[in-house]
Amino acid sequence: MQKIESGQNKSASVNLTYVAVMAASLTVLKLALSFIPNVEVVTLLILCYASAFGARRTMTATMIFCTVEILLYGFNSWVLLYYIYWNALAFTASLCLKKPSLIVAVVIAVLFTAFFGVLSTAIDVMFAGINGVPESELGYLFTAYYVRGAWFYIIHVISNFFIVGVLYIPLTVTLYKILGKDVSYIISRFKRIKPYRVRKKANANTDKENKAER
């Protein structure tokens, strides 16, 4: 009985440690890149954590991250945005990345990052309505807010496309190794993409040579 309780306590301690490190890394790395507008690695980290640690740990770490942000920056309309957006990302990633996939991870990153701008604008407009802006003007206000931030939203989408595309596989493999999980599935899936790219490049070179001969 004591061995069972000891094992449970050890497991709880390990889980707590993982969640604490995950939440801390989300906060610290977001802060480290805060000087670059709309370039972040929180999306990447959540996708990798969801792949390696699963829904419970990832969503707990994400909730802690959102709460710490309030303590650091105070309460404003972005608080609602963070709690909705980051937890929705963690939940979706946990469902879709039970088996890690670079293509799925990139698709989730791009779609959610594009959605971030829409959701952010919608929440700002909602608070504007609460503060007395006439309902007839909210549509115009949404358009004005979104257009004003469009350039930053575009940067956000493009940066996450490349960040996730380049770093998702190596970081997920590293987390799998830390957890003692088998990484052969991830590597085999990644190798299926690389030969396709090599073949595509080779075919393109062959086409160029054929055209030159003509």
pLDDT in tens, 163-180: 999 999 999 999 999 998
Same domain, 145 and 197: no
Same domain, 150 and 175: yes
Instruction: Express each pLDDT in 11-51 by its tens digit.
Output: 788 899 999 999 999 999 999 999 998 899 999 999 999 99
Same domain, 115 and 211: no
> Looking at per-residue confidence, does 152 or 209 come out higher?
152
Residue with tokens 């090599």, as numbered in its chain: 198
Residue with tokens 């309460």, as numbered in its chain: 75
Same domain, 42 and 13: yes
Residue from 108, 98, 93, 100 nearest 46 by CA = 93
The DSSP code for 98 is S
Stated pTM of the model: 0.83
Q: How far is CA 186 from the centre of its chain?
A: 18
pLDDT band for position 64 (cuts 50, 70, 90): very high
Same domain, 147 and 210: no
Same domain, 84 and 28: yes
Q: Residue 134 corresponds to which tokens in the numbers above?
A: 């006439």
Q: What's the CA gap between 15 and 187, in Å, rounded?
A: 26
Same domain, 161 and 171: yes
Same domain, 61 and 10: yes
Q: Which domain holds residue 17?
A: 2-181
Q: Report the CATH number at residue 150.
A: 1.10.1760.20
Number of domains composing the chain: 2
Q: Residue 162 corresponds to which tokens in the numbers above?
A: 């490349």
- Given a cut of 80, whether residue 191 has pLDDT beyond it is no
Same domain, 195 and 156: no
Same domain, 153 and 127: yes
Same domain, 127 and 149: yes
Same domain, 119 and 207: no
Q: Are 171 and 51 in contact (CB under 8 A)?
A: no
